[in-house]
Amino acid sequence: MSGLLDALPAAQQRLLSAAPSGGELATHPMLAVLSDRRVFDDTWVFERKLDGIRALTVRAPEGTRLLSRTGRAMNNSYPELVEALAAQSCEDFTVDGEIVAYSHGRTDFSRLQQRMQLSDPRKARASGVAVTYYLFDLLTLDGKDLRRLPLRTRKSLLRRALDFAPPVRFTPHRNQGGQRELDEACARGWEGLIAKRAEGTYLPRRSPDWLKLKCARAQEFVIGGFTEPAGSRVGFGALLIGYYADGALRYAGKVGTGYDQAALHRLRRTLDGLEQRQSPFADVVRERGVHWVEPQLVAQVGFTEWTRDGMLRHPRFLGLRDDKEPADVVREEPAAG
């Protein structure tokens, strides 16, 4: 056991066990619940909500693996992150974090898209898109599973076990949070805050011990079709999107904004390869010039609100996601505060 773990109180040392495989951890990360709660006591801590993609890194004697939350290897897309973690003096750990790209001082998911689509390390390095990996949790260390330790302890161990320098950074937290702090975060152009129970364990599922406090509404949706372009529009007119409920893909509306010319052409080529004759939606979709596609692509979509009939108001395309399975996409509703 490392010196850091030897220094833990005896009660916390008894919570340690043999670490599971890194692949198992990557495919069962802890996930946050969307919440309208704005009043918290001192048993919570607050981190910045980052607009990027989730990633776990496993450092072991056989090598360093950067994994998506579905367990997909991402070493070739972000070689500089793998190198930074492979160079750590600590040689056995699993960390959880978020990969982001910045534009004008703010995290920019659309800019990150340019790296997400690359699988050649040379092209990734030459893309001109710098990425930063913010680490916020330490799941294993020196062969021991830390997930039963309190969050404060895991973050303290994380800060001391690794050396932090660009492109790898530690995710700081605050001990106070609520409506005022969320308003301040929104004014800075942040996505929002993540509230976490300070003494909480790391659970391999979505849990109310982690809460998403968002500045604006956005979530993932499954693409089930698209319409033909009209006028001077190229590629396609709008994406037809939905979410799963009781095993059925429910229609949530069409998204016609948020694309540049390159995205319209690129997406159309991808969609043409997924075209099918029947609608994947359980609901009747009344649109003209529709092409149905296999529900394999997941899009990040921003919007203002849900309408009474279950459609999105003012939706806008933010980018494709490859870190979430379509079957896991559901309608996010804020948990009661």
Query: Which portions of the chain are predicted below pLDDT 50?
Result: 1
> What pLDDT, on a 0 to 100 scale, did the predictor assign at position 1?
46
For residue 293, give Cα distances in angstroms to 100, 225, 256.
30, 5, 17
What count of residues does the chain have? 337
- Looking at residue 336, its pLDDT comes to 59
Spatial contact of 154 and 171, defined as CB atoms under 8 Å apart:
no
State the fold for domain 3-214: D-amino Acid Aminotransferase; Chain A, domain 1 (3.30.470)
Type of residue found at 242: G
Q: Could you tell me the residue ranges of all domains in the chain?
A: 3-214, 217-328
Whether 49 sits among the annotated catalytic residues: the reply is: yes
- Pick the catalytic residue from 49, 155, 212, 254: 49
User: Are 121 and 169 in contact, with CB atoms under 8 Å apart?
Assistant: no
Burial environment of residue 133 by CB neighbours within 10 A (0 to 12, 13 to 18, 19 or more): buried
Structure token digits, residue 90: 């600590």
Beta-bridged to residue 102, according to DSSP, are 107
The rounded radius of gyration (Å) of the Cα atoms in the chain is 21
* Peptide bond before residue 280 is cis, with ω within 30 degrees of 0: no
Q: Does domain 217-328 have CATH number 1.10.1140.10?
A: no
Tell the burial category of 188 from Cβ atoms under 10 Å away from its Cβ (0-12, 13-18, 19+): exposed
Helices (H), strands (E): how many in the chain? 9, 21
